Amino acid sequence: MISIQKAKQMAKHLRVSLGKHHQEVSHSTALELVAQQLGYKDWNTASAMLADESALPAITFDKSIPILRIFDEAKACEFYVDFLGFKVEFEHRFEPTLPLYLGVMRNGLQLHLSEHHGDASPGSTLFVPMQNIEMLRDELREKRYGYGRPDIVQQEWGQVLEVYDPFGNRIRFCQS
């Protein structure tokens, strides 16, 4: 898409080019000619319709989706679905005997779990800002998971609740 700045450059080049052939035009006339070449009725219409490059949005990022390495589908589901309360979004295998790639989600927190060798390193740590950390702690402790009873630790930056999955990955839930 042509921007206002680009259209103004085109008008300037048109003036210079016509001037070399001894056909002098004003800047406003050149703007009107460019607007017509771009299919607009006049420069006012063109400038209202064309994008302003200085107002274009900056580079933005959506939320990230961490990929965690897993080695056993049953243990992963026991931990992430049964214990942490995630819901399975999708499961993918290229063939029935190949490694699993699993998407799970809970209240806006999306994780990808992968048995694929090159996708992630075991022993990763995720830092997850959240609200209502006491509710999460109480919910997890009520489940009486055999491999951990997480509790909240007060840090200078907030309350932290750490859980460790069966594959050495750690999730630090934190409430400021």
- How far apart, in whole angstroms, are the C-alpha atoms of residue 77 and residue 115? 13
- pLDDT at residue 1 greater than cutoff 60: yes
Reply yes or no on whether the pLDDT at 159 is more than 70: yes
Per-residue pLDDT, 58:
66
Handedness of CA 37, 39, 45, 48 (dihedral sign): negative
Q: Which two tokens stand for residue 24?
A: 């002098």
Question: What are 23-40's pLDDT values in tens digits?
Answer: 898 999 999 988 888 889
- For 125-156, what is each residue's pLDDT tens digit? 999 999 999 999 999 999 988 888 899 999 99
pLDDT in tens, 54-90: 665 667 778 889 999 999 999 999 999 999 999 999 9
SS3 labels along 107-154: CCEEEEEECCCCCCCCCCEEEEECCCHHHHHHHHHHCCCCCCCCCEEE
pTM above 0.75, yes or no: no
Identify the pLDDT of residue 144: 86
Predicted confidence (pLDDT) at residue 49 exceeds the cutoff of 90: no
**C-alpha angle 86/88/90, rounded to 5°?**
150
| Overall CATH class of domain 67-175 | alpha beta
